[in-house]
Amino acid sequence: MQKIDSYDFSGKRAIVRVDFNVPLNENFQITDDTRIRAAIPTLKKVLEKGGSLIIMSHLGRPKGPTGKYSLKHIIGAIEEKLGTKIKFAPDCMGAEAAELSKNLKPGEVLLLENLRFYAEEEGKPRDLAEDASDDVKKVAKAEMKEKQKEFTKKLASYADCYINDAFGTAHRAHASTALIAKYFPNDKMFGYVMEGEIVAIDKVLKSPVHPVTAIIGGAKVSSKIAIIEKLFDVVDNMIIGGGMVFTFIKAQGGKIGKSLCEDDQMELALSIIEKAKQKNVKLYFSGDVIIADAFSNDANTQICADNKIPDGWMGMDVAPATLKEWEAVLRASKTVLWNGPVGVFEMPKFANGTTGIAKILADITSTGVFTLVGGGDSVAAVTQMGFADKVSYVSTGGGAMLEYLEGIELPGIKAIREA
């Protein structure tokens, strides 16, 4: 494994997997360019050091080539941010892609069309009938594996070295995110986005300064179980908020009205409470909540204890008094990890808890607390409030970050690290 800072790029063509899966509006304008901005330092570094670039990414979930998901829509944004004109290969496997990459001169940039126009990128057969027999599926999968090898080999043939800077897809063993690495045994490395993510998450998981507090929110307990259990090995305090807290409250005999609840997870919720005790982790639930008589921004509201919610009402956000208690815990911490909103923050009436957490984190970061924010909705909350650069690190990879936190070795990381 090489390092981008010490690698000699002069005269070399670097194929870089980035995550340019940006949201586009109906006029194909980018509505959030965070992911493009994030990759620019890596791309500029290669160019500054005398290399040329072949940029590859996916966009959306196309089932085949389609104008809607063409990366041509983002050429202008890349050119503007990189400060240079770029070439575009309208088929990542076409003769033009091979020709253009062969002729790249130092300082030049080539963007390949959406990798997912080919099923080979993900390695899953696309045209299999749902009711196909197991034998047919087996043959199709084996054929796809062979095709994927050819696809990967061809991508690798365009370049002299490989950089993975797409943390958002690091949890997928796709052609461009993992399989390609083996063609560059001595010339593969992480880009700065990947390096930054790994360092930030390891700062919480592997060498945190205590006390460590995790705030886990969001809708479902079931999707966060693995992380909660893994974090018990690391944290001193865990604050559980959002919709998922009501499964814990009901499991302990509380009245939760018509709040969100996963009845089939109640036993698990009790076992989590038990595990927290064994591991000496202090659990904080919501205490007081803002309840509503409908799932609507126009609903009537009142404040009540989270275990005494009247019939027909539901918990929608943490109440100010509880937020104050959480704040004291956060202010006494040295490391804080936040994943998931603590209320239905999409509705302004129930966003105060989530924006409150964002404000507290921004504030304690300025006093030296290491604060890591990850997971789509909490990232959206800090970004919307303009606090993204006021916390220590905002993780761009939702699913990848969660899997990394769960302790899973991500294929995209493994492929670069292994000899």
Binding site residues, ligand AMP, CB under 6 A = 218-220, 223, 242-243, 260, 315-316, 340-341, 343-346, 375, 377
Q: What gap in Å lies between CA 238 and CA 339, rounded to an integer?
A: 11
Catalytic residue selected from 254, 275, 376, 390: 376
CB atoms within 10 A of CB 259: 22
Q: Provide the minimum distance between the beta carbon of 386 and ligand AMP in the complex, in angstroms, as a whole number.
A: 20
Nearest approach, Cβ of residue 224 and ligand AMP (Å): 7
For residue 205, report the phi and psi dihedrals to the nearest 5 degrees. -80, -40
**Complex with ligand AMP: residue 346 or 409, whichever CB lies closer:** 346
Q: Which of 35, 116, 224, 250 is catalytic?
A: 35
Could you give the CA distance from residue 288 to residue 303 in angstroms, rounded to a whole number? 7
Nearest approach, Cβ of residue 343 and ligand AMP (Å):
5
Distance (Å, whole) CA 333 – CA 210: 7
Burial 108-120 (b: 16+ CB within 10 A, else e): bbbbbbbbbbbbb
> Is 399 a residue of the active site?
yes
121 contacts 115 by C-beta, under 8 angstroms: yes
Give the shortest CB-404-to-ligand AMP separation in angstroms. Answer: 16
Least separation in angstroms between residue 235's CB and ligand AMP is: 18
Query: Quick one: 100 or 221, whose CB is closer to ligand AMP?
Result: 221
Q: Tell me the C-alpha distance between 194 and 360, whole Å.
A: 27
Shortest CB 43 distance to ligand AMP, Å = 31
Residue closer to ligand AMP, measured from CB, 152 or 395: 395
| 17 is known as an active-site residue | no
State the virtual CA torsion across 23, 25, 30, 36 in degrees, nearest 10: 10
Which residue of the set 220, 308, 331, 334 is catalytic?
220
Please indicate whether residue 11 is annotated as part of the active site. no
Q: Hey, what amino acid is at 131?
A: D
Give the bridge partners for 161, in sequence order: 14
List the strands of the sheet with 301-305, edge to edge: 301-305, 288-292, 314-318
- Cα gap 141→396, rounded to integer Å: 31
User: Minimal CB distance to ligand AMP: which residue?
Assistant: 218
Least separation in angstroms between CB 59 and ligand AMP: 22
Is 35 an active-site residue?
yes
* Nearer to ligand AMP among residue 117 and residue 313 (C-beta): 313
The pairing of beta strand 301-305 with beta strand 288-292 = antiparallel
- Could you tell me the smallest distance in angstroms from the CB atom of residue 244 to ligand AMP? 7
Distance (Å, whole) CA 305 – CA 323: 13
Which two tokens mark 156?
């690798």
Pick the closer one to ligand AMP by CB: 316 or 329: 316
Nearer to ligand AMP, 179 or 256 (CB): 256
Which of 247, 243, 248 lies closest to 289 in space, CA to CA? 243
Question: Are 151 and 94 in contact, with CB atoms under 8 Å apart?
Answer: no
List, as one string, the DSSP characters of 4-29.
TTT---TTPEEEEE------B-TTS-
Nearer to ligand AMP, 123 or 343 (CB): 343
| CA distance linking residue 383 with residue 381, whole number of Å | 5
Which C-beta is closer to ligand AMP: that of 203 or that of 220? 220
* Marked catalytic residue, from 154, 230, 255, 399: 399
Catalytic residues: 35, 220, 376, 399
